[in-house]
Amino acid sequence: MEKILGIGAEAVLVKDRYYGFDVVRKTRIRKNYRNPILDERIRKKRTVLEARILATCKNNGIPVPTVLHVDLGKAEIIMDYIKGARLRDIIDSLSMEEVKKYFQILGREVGLLHKAGIIHGDLTTSNMILVGDKIFLIDFGLSYFSKELEDRAVDIHLLLRAIESTHPRYVELAFKEFTKGYKEVMGEYVDVVLKRMEEIRMRGRYVAERRHKVK
């Protein structure tokens, strides 16, 4: 029995069965405002990119859903269904020690992601599923390949903002432990990334202040 898991701006996610396995079908939505030929090309390109990124993650030991089938005609990816709890939904029930543990794990996984040249693009606790001692990263719809410092810093900045807005009581602890885990993989490069991230935050504050003054 199909079950809709979510409908976003770009795709529909449906839980389904595939050769006896629970799976997620991710189908990119047609955009009527786009030229049909261009729309098909864009949806195919993004589908291929996401499948490639998921495969690269697997090859680098990053917990992500396994791609089982790609249908370019439908702009659809079939991947295994990850049965677990979203970090966003359970974080308030965790002990401080568990928060420290899981954010260190997350830091290592994002470090592996960046080391492999992948930018997630939407690192929020809604896109993290806890299974045992692994945190599966999901929803790579905005992801792309890059090893640019700015892109890595923006990725981590978005994560910090997500923690600040969704889990304010854990911000300092969670980000500190995330940084430790990230450093285990990326070494002293973490200092360079955090410095750039602070520059990005300052830019954001400056723009916000300018808008406020204009009003």
Given 122, 133, 151, 155, the catalytic residue? 122
Return the CATH number of 3-80, one of 3.30.1200.10, 3.90.660.10, 3.30.1490.100, 3.30.200.20. 3.30.200.20
| Residue 122 annotated in active site | yes
Containing 12, the helix (H) or strand (E) segment is strand 11-18
Question: Is 50 exceeded by the pLDDT of residue 209?
Answer: no
- Whether 3-80 shares its CATH topology with 85-214 is answered no
pLDDT at site 212: 43
List of E strands, the chain: 3-7, 11-18, 21-28, 67-71, 76-80, 85-86, 118-119, 128-131, 134-137, 144-145
Report the largest interatomic distance among the alpha carbons of the chain, rounded to a whole angstrom. Answer: 59
pLDDT at site 73: 94
> Would you place residue 8 in the very low, low, confident or very high pLDDT band (cuts 50, 70, 90)?
confident
pLDDT at site 169: 92
pLDDT digits (tens, 9 = 90+) for 118-153: 999 999 999 999 998 899 999 999 999 999 999 999
Indicate the DSSP class of residue 92. Answer: G
Extents of the domains making up the chain: 3-80, 85-214
> Would you place residue 111 in the very low, low, confident or very high pLDDT band (cuts 50, 70, 90)?
very high
pLDDT at site 118: 98
By DSSP bridging, strand 3-7 and strand 11-18 are antiparallel
In angstroms, the CA 147 to CA 145 distance is 7
Question: Is 60 exceeded by the pLDDT of residue 110?
Answer: yes
pLDDT at site 1: 65
> Would you place residue 66 in the very low, low, confident or very high pLDDT band (cuts 50, 70, 90)?
very high
Phi first, then psi, for residue 148 (nearest 5°) are -70, 135
pLDDT digits (tens, 9 = 90+) for 78-90: 999 999 999 999 9
Model pTM above 0.75: yes
Question: Is 80 exceeded by the pLDDT of residue 102?
Answer: yes
Q: Look up residue 131 and give its two tokens.
A: 């299974």
| CATH number of the domain located at residue range(s) 85-214 in this protein | 1.10.510.10
Q: Name which of 3-7, 160-164, 185-189 the model is least confident about.
A: 3-7
